[in-house]
């Protein structure tokens, strides 16, 4: 039985193809990445898509085609990002659910995001959450700071449990503008999670990736990794393929006596049975 959920976030919306030619931006590259990451131990894929010029897009047909292609070629839990890029309008982000993913990310508040602002006003969060309940899509609550943990309490108190009855949160740590990617911040955030939380994972952006992964394992949490979050394996050593990051945390998990979950086990964890 697996007891470690590994999510791969292979692409993101921030890195350009010119800056990182190995970033999977086409559908073929995304499918190949998803297959290799599943073979390496991932059970869920957090998906951002790109257009023909490799720019972030929320094009509805592309999103639908992506969900279908990932379902045909892998067993992974398919999670579409509703965060998109910092330039995506809120109404386009709501339409992501029209693609019928298994899961969607749902960020619990507005965050300074480097020099930009990742906008998640409270009415938008509430609308997206209720839409996920109506559409039977399981949300993953993305928490960029401690205030967003408090917002998750408010959301669950007001609107009840997600579709499927499980509450899965993901601590996104080390964004310039959010909480730091440290063991101390992870411990404080985990202590503050709502009692309804049934599972949580964590990811550390950039050089905080290893500190966050180790702290998460130490606290019994799950892991997200991928080129959305980190582009180097060590100083000056670029990631060549997302499966390197998955294999690295599988090894960390092995040392911590944790076994990667299969996608089927992940579906049970997340209330998708």
Residues that bind Zn ion (CB under 5 A): 81
Per CB under 6 A, the segment of 77-85, 131-139, 156-164, 242-250 that binds ligand KMH is: 77-85
Cα-Cα-Cα-Cα torsion 254, 80, 207, 14, nearest 10 degrees, comes to 160
| 120 binds ligand KMH per the rule CB under 6 A | no
CB of 255 to Zn ion, least distance (A): 27
**Count of residues engaged in binding ligand KMH, rule: CB under 6 A:** 13
| 119 binds ligand KMH per the rule CB under 6 A | no
Exactly one of 4, 5, 8, 13 binds ligand KMH (CB under 6 A); that residue is: 13
Binding mask 87-116 for ligand KMH (x = CB under 6 A): ------------------x-x-----x---
CB of 106 to ligand KMH, least distance (A): 7
| 85 binds ligand KMH per the rule CB under 6 A | yes
Round to whole Å and give the CA distance between 137 and 143: 18
Round to whole Å and give the CA distance between 175 and 111: 9
Per CB under 6 A, the segment of 83-91, 147-155, 189-197, 233-241 that binds ligand KMH is: 83-91
Cβ nearer to Zn ion, comparing 81 with 216? 81
| 118 binds ligand KMH per the rule CB under 6 A | yes
Q: Which residue is nearest to ligand KMH (CB)?
A: 83
Binding site for ligand KMH (CB under 6 A): 12-14, 81-83, 85-86, 105, 107, 113, 118, 142
């Amino acid at each position: 039985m697996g007891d470690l959920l590994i999510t791969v976030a292979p692409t993101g919306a921030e890195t350009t193809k010119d800056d990182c030619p190995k970033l999977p931006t086409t559908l073929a590259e995304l499918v190949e990445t998803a297959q290799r990451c599943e073979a390496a131990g991932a059970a869920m894929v957090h998906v951002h898509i790109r257009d023909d010029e490799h720019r972030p897009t929320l094009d509805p047909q592309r999103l639908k085609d992506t969900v279908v292609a990932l379902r045909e070629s892998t067993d992974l839990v398919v999670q579409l990002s509703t965060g998109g890029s910092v330039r995506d309008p809120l109404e386009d982000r709501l339409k992501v659910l029209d693609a019928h993913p298994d899961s969607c990310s749902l960020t619990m508040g507005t965050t300074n995001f480097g020099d930009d602002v990742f906008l998640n006003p409270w009415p938008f969060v509430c609308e997206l959450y209720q839409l996920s309940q109506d559409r039977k899509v399981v949300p993953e609550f993305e928490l960029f700071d401690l205030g967003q943990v408090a917002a998750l309490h408010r959301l669950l108190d007001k609107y009840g449990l997600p579709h499927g009855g499980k509450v899965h949160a993901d601590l996104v740590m080390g964004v310039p503008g959010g909480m730091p990617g440290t063991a101390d911040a992870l411990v404080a955030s985990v202590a503050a999670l709502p009692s309804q939380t049934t599972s949580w994972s964590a990811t550390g952006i950039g050089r905080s990736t290893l500190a966050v992964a180790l702290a998460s394992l130490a606290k019994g949490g799950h892991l997200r990794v991928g080129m959305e979050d980190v582009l180097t394996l060590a100083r000056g050593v670029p990631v060549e393929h997302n499966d390197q990051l998955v294999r690295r945390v599988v090894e960390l998990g092995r040392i911590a006596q944790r076994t990667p979950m299969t996608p089927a086990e992940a579906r049970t964890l997340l209330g998708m049975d």
